[in-house]
Amino acid sequence: MSVIELNVEDGVAIITLNRPEAKNAINQAVAETMDKTLDELEARDDVRVLILTGAGGSFCAGMDLKAFVAGEKVVTDDKGFAGFVQAKLSKPVIAAIEGYALAGGCELALSCDLIVAANNAKFGLPEVKRGLAAGAGGLLRLPRQLPYRVAMELALTGDMADAQRMYDLGLINRLVNAGEAMSGALELARAIAVNAPMSLKATKNVIAQQQDWSLDEMFDRQAELIAPVMKSEDAIEGSRAFAEKRAPVWKNR
């Protein structure tokens, strides 16, 4: 049984962390398999949106501490922790979260573009309680995605926060009933997947990168990313389809 399960249908790839006996904690096998899986999905023209989830009613409990003590490598050279948190993915990624998203699991969620969570989900960075530090992006991304003092409290106390609070603070896109995170994520993914692939890639890149652009350069930097979209065959197809009142047929060019 693979530590990562992959299913692709209708433009949506579902990546499932499959170590339910360890609450999907990350060991070397997961990190290496994830790295290869992401490379495959980036290269596939039939995939437009990714969903990351966990098996057995829990998202991810973070780094497998037994693997850490045993000296296993839970990072990859180009994609960081879990073969994921530093990946440069052009396609949108949705986290579908049930149960615990703690430590590295929370950092996986923060690495995604969108989050759908069940109302039983718990988030937290408990590394300080273990003599560790949240070095897989938690300390970097949390204060960009939550109010500064909330991020500081979560990081310094190591305490868990429930999904309702995270939803109220804007960390979660959609809050659903327990057991419905995947169906909610699929609904969101399908709404994205019907759109033009080149447009999705450029839109994601602009939003993800713009926070580091100065006022003087931001429109020029944006133009570099969206110019190919505006000149594409799909731009003409989208306009024609709208005028003809039909669904567009995208060619990704």
* Active-site residue, selected from the candidate residues 127, 180, 224, 244: 127
Known catalytic residue at 5: no
Known catalytic residue at 127: yes
* Active-site residue, selected from the candidate residues 107, 153, 217, 224: 107
| Three-class secondary structure of residue 102 per DSSP | strand
* Catalytic center residues: 107, 127
